[in-house]
Amino acid sequence: MSEIIRRTGSCLCGGVQFTVTGAPLRIGLCHCKDCRKAGGSVYSAYAIWPREAFEVTGIVSTYGTRSFCPTCGGRVAFLGEDEAEVTIGSLDVAPTDDLVPEYELWTSRRETWLHALPGAEQFEHDRPTANNTQLAEPRPLSDAVAGS
C-alpha cells in the first residue's frame, strides 16, 4: 500500500477548492489569539504540508499569509514560503481518522472547559523549535543552510 494519499478540501461555498498530496509534516492544535480570531472558534486544528503539496483553484483573498474565500469567508490555508498550514475542518472528509494532532500550542489560552489532548505534546506558548508566530517560515532541522 504505497499509494500516495490525495485529500481534497474547500471553503464553505465551494468557490475555492484545494488538494494536499502525501502525508503532512506535522499536525497540531493551537489556542493562540490569531487562531481564535481568524477562525472564530476557540482553537484551531491544522495539518502542515510542504508548500508544493498544496494546490488551490478559485479566487482567494489573503490577510498576511492567511488565505480565505472572499465570498463565504471560509479559511483555505495559511501559506508560508515552504509550508502550507491547512485547517483540518476545511478538508472534505470527516472524520479524517489519521490526522491526529501531535502537539498543542498556547495551552495558556485554552478554555477551561477543554482538556489537554491525550498523547499530544503540550506547549504553553509556541513550539520552541518553530518560528511560527507570524509569517511562518519554519525550517526543517536538517536544513542548516542560511538563506540570504
20 binds Zn ion (CB under 5 A): no
Q: Provide the 3-class DSSP secondary structure of residue 12.
A: coil
30 binds Zn ion (CB under 5 A): yes
> Of these, 13, 59, 116, 135, which contacts Zn ion (CB under 5 A)?
13
**Nearest Cα residue to 44 out of 55, 31, 33:** 31
Nearest distance from C-beta of residue 55 to Zn ion, angstroms: 17
The three cell numbers locating residue 137: 517560515
- 47 is a contact residue toward Zn ion (CB under 5 A): no
Site for Zn ion in 48-77 (CB under 5 A): 69, 71-72, 74
**CA-to-CA distance for 39 and 20, rounded, in angstroms?**
20
Q: Which is nearer to Zn ion, 9 or 53 (CB)?
A: 9
Please give the DSSP secondary-structure letter assigned to residue 37. H
Contact status, residue 106 vs residue 120, Cβ threshold 8 Å = no
Q: Which residues bind Zn ion (CB under 5 A)?
A: 11, 13, 15, 30, 32, 35, 69, 71-72, 74
